């Protein structure tokens, strides 16, 4: 059965660019992003890994640990890391799983035989500190991932976990948010004493509370 939102992300132990990885233990109390690549030395993913490394200050600010994965060996990872630094001007600073036996790829349903039975599709899993899967995205081979969107989703998840709000279409940090319908007007007045706008009984807009920050 395919993984679904709200499920506990499967735990595993596998080789990585930083030695043997025990996934849940490694994440600890942090959020995690697990993102897969078809294999090493692929052009789109070369740019993606560099961008993920470049964004390390943003991951740390949000208490997120990025984890890459491809079906190649650790030795291949070393050569690819050198290419990434040479072509993208960015050194890798997060671990990459060496899923040479396809164990993790199979566990997370990253092998799609109709696309290519030999390599992983380009998946993204956002995992919260309780190890629950909060987002799943799969990209086609020729389309680079949008890491600004991944950061935006993490911001939205952390915001909505901390407050009784939801984020509207195209929301970005600093824009108004929606008070969840399960909160009564009286409860909303107590929670948001600065006031809110009622467009419809089910659609109440309020100034965004401050985003949580990593401790």
Taking the model in full, what pTM does it have?
0.89
- DSSP-derived secondary structure for 120-147: B-EEEEEE-TT-BEEEEEEE-TTS---H
φ and ψ at residue 83, rounded to 5 degrees: -65, -40
Question: Annotated catalytic sites, by residue?
Answer: 45
Q: Which of 89, 81, 95, 80 is nearest to 21 (CA)?
A: 95
pLDDT in tens, 13-67: 999 888 899 999 999 999 999 998 876 667 888 899 999 999 999 999 999 999 9
Q: Which two three-digit tokens encode residue 195? A: 């006031």
Order of strands across the sheet that contains 64-70: 96-98, 64-70, 31-36, 122-127, 133-139
CA 69 to chain centre: 13
pLDDT in tens, 124-145: 999 999 999 999 998 887 788 8
pLDDT tier at 77, thresholds 50, 70, 90: low
């Amino acid at each position: 059965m395919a993984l679904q939102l709200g499920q506990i992300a499967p735990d595993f132990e596998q080789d990585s660019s930083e030695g043997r990885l025990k996934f849940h233990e490694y994440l600890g109390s942090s959020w995690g992003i697990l993102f897969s690549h078809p294999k090493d030395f692929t052009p789109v993913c070369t740019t993606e890994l560099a961008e993920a490394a470049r964004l390390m200050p943003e991951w740390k600010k949000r208490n997120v640990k990025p984890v890459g994965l491809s079906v190649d060996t650790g030795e291949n990872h070393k050569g690819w890391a050198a290419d990434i630094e040479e072509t993208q001007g960015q050194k890798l600073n997060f671990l990459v799983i060496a899923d040479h036996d396809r164990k993790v790829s199979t566990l997370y349903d990253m092998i799609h035989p109709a696309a290519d039975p030999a390599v992983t599709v380009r998946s993204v899993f956002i995992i919260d500190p309780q190890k629950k899967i909060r987002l799943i995205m799969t990209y086609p081979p020729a389309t680079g991932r949008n890491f600004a969107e991944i950061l935006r989703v993490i911001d939205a998840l952390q915001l909505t976990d901390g407050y009784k709000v939801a984020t509207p279409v195209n929301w970005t940090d600093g824009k108004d948010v929606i008070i969840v319908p399960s909160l009564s007007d009286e409860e909303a007045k107590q929670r948001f004493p600065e006031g809110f706008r009622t467009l419809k009984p089910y659609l109440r807009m309020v100034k965004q509370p401050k985003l949580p920050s990593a401790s």
